[in-house]
């Protein structure tokens, strides 16, 4: 094999190494997995935290337009940010996140007396929580912001940086 030819193993190793994220410097925070609270809710939370939502105000309640409720946006942003931090602890991070963050905030949000009390959103057994996309630009991707800055937010975001 000439020096310009690569074996299949060499090509595979090069491809894998090219996919590996560069290690962040000690001064930089690690890159976010989810770029916004909306992406976290859409891609992770509603897929993972499945509950039957009857849409009658009885039992667990949820609003597909969760982004229209200030309390929900604040609580879900706290869930996203804490998830991003605790995922870095391979030993007990996710357990701590579920016990101290997800179960606490989701119990409040899903409570029939909570912020979604009047919502008529519903789903069926085994389906993700109901979801409606927020208005474009409401939750910009934080990964696209300059280092050390937050993405530009709109006035509709009650927790703008």
Each residue's pLDDT tens digit, 38-53: 999 999 999 998 999 9
Tell whether 47 is covered by a domain: yes
Report which of 133, 139, 131 is spatially closest to residue 156, judged by C-alpha positions: 139
Angle at 43 between CA 53 and CA 122, to 5 degrees: 15
Q: What is the pLDDT of residue 57?
A: 81
> Which of 99-120 are b and which e, b meaning 16 or more Cβ less than 10 Å from the residue's Cβ?
eebbeebbeebbeeebbbeebe
Distance CA(18)–CA(10), nearest Å, equals: 12
When divided into structural domains, the chain yields a total of 1
Confidence of residue 7 (pLDDT cuts 50, 70, 90): low
Residue 157 has what pLDDT?
A: 44
Residue 7: count of CB within 10 angstroms of its CB: 9
Residue 98 lies inside a defined structural domain of this protein: yes
Residue 78 lies in a domain: yes
Report how far apart, in Å, the C-alpha atoms of 44 and of each of 8, 48, 56, 161 are.
35, 6, 25, 23
Question: Does any domain span residue 141?
Answer: no
| pLDDT of res. 98 | 97
Q: 29 in a domain, yes or no?
A: no
Which residues span the domain enclosing 79? 35-133
Q: Is residue 16 part of a domain?
A: no
pLDDT tens digits along 121-159: 999 999 999 999 999 999 999 999 876 666 655 444 444
Domain-located, residue 1: no
pLDDT of residue 155: 42
- 121 in any annotated domain: yes
Q: How confident is the model at residue 4 (pLDDT cuts 50, 70, 90)?
A: low
Share of the chain above pLDDT 70, in %: 74
* 3-state class (DSSP) for residue 8: helix
Question: Mean pLDDT lowest for which of 5-19, 47-61, 100-114, 142-156?
Answer: 5-19
Cβ neighbors of 148 (< 8 A, separation 6 or more) are: none
């Amino acid at each position: 094999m000439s020096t310009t030819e690569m074996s299949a193993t060499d090509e595979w190793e090069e491809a894998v190494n090219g996919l590996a994220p560069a290690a962040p410097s000690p001064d930089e925070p690690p890159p976010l997995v989810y770029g916004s609270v909306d992406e976290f809710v859409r891609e992770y939370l509603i897929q993972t935290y499945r509950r039957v939502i009857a849409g009658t105000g009885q039992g667990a309640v949820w609003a597909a337009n969760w982004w229209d409720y200030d309390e929900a946006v604040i609580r879900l942003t706290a869930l996203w940010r804490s998830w991003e931090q605790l995922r870095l602890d391979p030993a007990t991070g996710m357990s701590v996140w579920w016990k101290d963050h997800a179960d606490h905030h989701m119990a409040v949000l899903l409570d029939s007396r909570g912020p979604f009390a009047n919502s008529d959103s519903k789903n069926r057994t085994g389906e993700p929580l109901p979801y409606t996309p927020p208005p474009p630009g409401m939750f910009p991707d934080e990964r696209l912001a300059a280092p050390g800055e937050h993405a530009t937010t709109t006035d509709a975001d009650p927790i703008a940086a």
